[in-house]
């Protein structure tokens, strides 16, 4: 069951192969778990050759437990409810005022969790864990490592506040880490072994997935590409440094750059839409953003040698308007071998990536929820 939770639907043969049990033992155990309602069967898709009977996939049921993913941004909240069989059951999002406070964030998420539980028609007591994505550098225990970057509502201990309010264990992670996890498992990085995901929205961050696991560094802040210096004489950044990527490519910077030619534009989606309509100023700003990101990513390519770079966040929706100049910069500044082995693509999951990654945190990093009472309850039920 732990394997099905972490990997998602598997065939009997795959299951037996990984745990090293005979076909007969696997079949007997699966039959028992099916009888008791923990495991269900689903028709798989035919193999590459398209011949033969498609294999039957095994997956956990709603009875095995529910996972909730929460993505809290500077001005939005998104909640995804899934069951441990890797199937999304319901999803809700809302826009918030950018000046919202901790109490507003708690109220909003509690309301959204109530909505998705009702929409899916499930029992809230089945929630085994909640993954919470936040837009700031975090240490491994989920506390912000910066006093200046996170929004006001993150100043306290968000994991504890949400766990108390929602009555389930909560594990917090940086939003870009979660976007990376989701694109690696369910999106544009499914075949990738070494993935770099860039989330460019209000700020710019990156998540690294190496061999299927998020790489967080020694204290949790790995991947903060937004605070890579691209102009030593540039404007001072909220991190205290000068000329960071964030100062050039963050939402406010992009909108400020078209304030003279397009004073009516107040969001990145509007800017992208204007560029698609042929506006030269907006097209130029997006191309410049690609160049800036490319300079920073060239260093990442040389150091990490990824096979896939995925651009997500609001800016990801610009696709080739950003990616063409980004690739050009990589060719100019990174080693040829590092460039040729990395495919640079737009994210597939869009603005859902971070919340889906928060669900995957519950599914694939179950050990982080293991010490909690809710998980222990399911474990005890399973053991019987
Ligand atoms: Zn900075």
Question: What would the two tokens of residue 307 be?
Answer: 């096979």
Q: How far apart are CA 105 and CA 119, in angstroms?
A: 21
Fold of 2-60: Arc Repressor Mutant, subunit A (1.10.10)
Question: What would the two tokens of residue 310 be?
Answer: 């995925």
Question: What would the two tokens of residue 74 be?
Answer: 């500077």
Give Cα 332 distance to the centre of its chain: 29
Tell how far the Cα of 204 is from the centroid of ligand 1, in angstroms: 9
Residue 383's closest CA among 32, 58, 89?
32
Q: How far apart are CA 246 and CA 263, in angstroms?
A: 22
Question: What would the two tokens of residue 132 be?
Answer: 């919470």
**Residue whose token pair is 């100062």:** 247
Residue 141, φ and ψ in degrees, nearest 5:
-100, 5
Tell how far the Cα of 218 is from the centroid of ligand 1, in angstroms: 20
Fold of 188-348: Nucleotidyltransferase; domain 5 (3.30.420)
Tell how far the Cα of 373 is from the centroid of ligand 1, in angstroms: 39
Tell how far the Cα of 237 is from the centroid of ligand 1, in angstroms: 4
Tell how far the Cα of 260 is from the centroid of ligand 1, in angstroms: 25
What's the CA dihedral at 182, 185, 191, 197 to 10 degrees? 20
Tell how far the Cα of 264 is from the centroid of ligand 1, in angstroms: 27
Give Cα 224 distance to the centre of its chain: 15
Tell how far the Cα of 71 is from the centroid of ligand 1, in angstroms: 22
Question: What would the two tokens of residue 234 be?
Answer: 């540039």
Per-residue DSSP letter, 349 = S
**pLDDT at res. 375:** 39
Tell how far the Cα of 148 is from the centroid of ligand 1, in angstroms: 10
Tell how far the Cα of 220 is from the centroid of ligand 1, in angstroms: 17
Contacts of 324 (CB under 8 A, 6+ apart): 287, 290
Tell how far the Cα of 367 is from the centroid of ligand 1, in angstroms: 33
Total-model pTM: 0.91
Residuewise pLDDT in 10s, the chain (384 residues):
999 999 999 999 999 999 898 889 999 999 999 999 999 998 877 655 556 677 899 999 999 999 999 999 888 999 999 999 999 999 999 998 777 788 888 899 999 999 999 999 999 999 999 999 998 888 877 787 777 666 766 667 788 889 999 999 999 999 999 999 999 999 999 999 999 999 999 999 999 999 989 999 998 889 999 999 999 999 999 999 999 999 999 999 999 999 999 999 999 999 999 999 999 999 999 999 999 999 999 999 999 999 999 999 999 999 999 999 999 999 999 999 999 999 999 999 999 999 999 999 999 988 888 765 443 343 334 433
Of 3.40.50.1820, 3.40.640.10, 3.30.9.10, 3.30.420.40, the CATH number of 64-177+356-383 is 3.30.420.40
Q: Strand ranges (DSSP E) for 119-193?
A: 127-134, 170-174
Tell how far the Cα of 221 is from the centroid of ligand 1, in angstroms: 13
The H or E element that residue 81 is part of is: strand 76-83
Residue 84's closest CA among 349, 357, 360, 382?
360
**pLDDT at res. 381:** 40
Angle at which helix 158-166 crosses helix 102-120, to 10 degrees, equals: 40
Q: Return the SS3 of 255.
A: helix
Segments of the chain assigned to CATH 1.10.10.10? 2-60
Question: What would the two tokens of residue 69 be?
Answer: 């993913």
Tell how far the Cα of 196 is from the centroid of ligand 1, in angstroms: 19
Question: What would the two tokens of residue 91 be?
Answer: 């999803």
**pLDDT at res. 142:** 76
Question: What would the two tokens of residue 337 be?
Answer: 């071998």
**pLDDT at res. 113:** 97
Q: How far apart are CA 269 and CA 138, in angstroms?
A: 28
| Length of the chain (residues) | 384
Tell how far the Cα of 143 is from the centroid of ligand 1, in angstroms: 19
SS3 content of the chain, % helix, strand, coil (to 5): 45, 20, 30
Segments of the chain assigned to CATH 3.30.420.40? 64-177+356-383, 188-348
**Backbone conformation region of residue 61, classed left if phi is above 0, alpha if psi is from -120 to 50, else beta:** beta
Tell how far the Cα of 206 is from the centroid of ligand 1, in angstroms: 13
């Amino acid at each position: 069951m732990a394997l099905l939770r972490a990997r998602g639907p598997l065939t009997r043969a795959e299951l037996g192969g990984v745990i090293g049990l005979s076909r007969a033992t696997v079949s007997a155990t699966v039959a028992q778990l099916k009888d008791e309602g923990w495991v269900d069967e689903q028709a798989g898709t035919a193999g590459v050759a398209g011949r033969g009977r498609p294999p039957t996939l095994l997956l956990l049921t709603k009875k095995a437990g529910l996972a909730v993913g929460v993505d809290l941004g500077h001005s939005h909240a998104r909640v995804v409810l899934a069951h441990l069989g890797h199937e999304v059951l319901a999803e809700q999002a809302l826009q918030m005022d950018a000046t919202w406070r901790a109490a507003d964030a708690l109220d909003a998420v509690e309301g959204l969790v109530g909505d998705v539980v009702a929409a899916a028609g499930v029992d809230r007591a089945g929630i085994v864990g909640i993954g919470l994505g936040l837009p700031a550098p975090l240490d491994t225990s989920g506390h912000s490592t910066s006093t200046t970057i996170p929004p006001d509502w993150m100043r306290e201990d968000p994991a504890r506040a949400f766990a108390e309010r929602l009555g389930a264990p909560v594990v917090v992670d940086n939003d870009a880490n979660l976007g990376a996890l989701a694109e690696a498992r369910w999106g544009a990085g499914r075949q990738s072994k070494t993935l770099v995901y860039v989330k460019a929205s209000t700020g710019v961050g990156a998540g690294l997935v190496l061999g299927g696991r998020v790489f967080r560094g020694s204290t949790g802040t790995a991947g903060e590409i937004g605070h890579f210096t691209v102009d030593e004489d540039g404007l001072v950044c909220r991190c205290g440094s000068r000329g960071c990527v964030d100062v050039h490519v963050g939402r406010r910077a992009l909108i400020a750059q078209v304030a003279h030619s397009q004073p009516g534009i107040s969001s990145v989606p509007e800017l992208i839409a204007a560029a698609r309509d042929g506006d030269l100023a907006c097209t130029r700003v997006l191309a410049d953003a690609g160049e800036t990101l490319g300079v920073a990513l060239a260093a990442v390519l040389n150091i990490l040698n990824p096979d896939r770079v995925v651009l997500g966040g609001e800016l990801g929706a610009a696709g080739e308007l950003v990616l063409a100049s980004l690739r050009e910069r990589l060719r100019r500044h990174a080693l040829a071998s590092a460039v040729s082995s990395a495919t640079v693509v737009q994210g597939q999951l869009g603005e859902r990536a971070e919340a889906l990654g928060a669900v995957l945190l519950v599914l694939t990093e179950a050990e982080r929820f293991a010490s909690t009472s809710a998980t222990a309850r399911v474990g005890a039920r399973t053991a019987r």
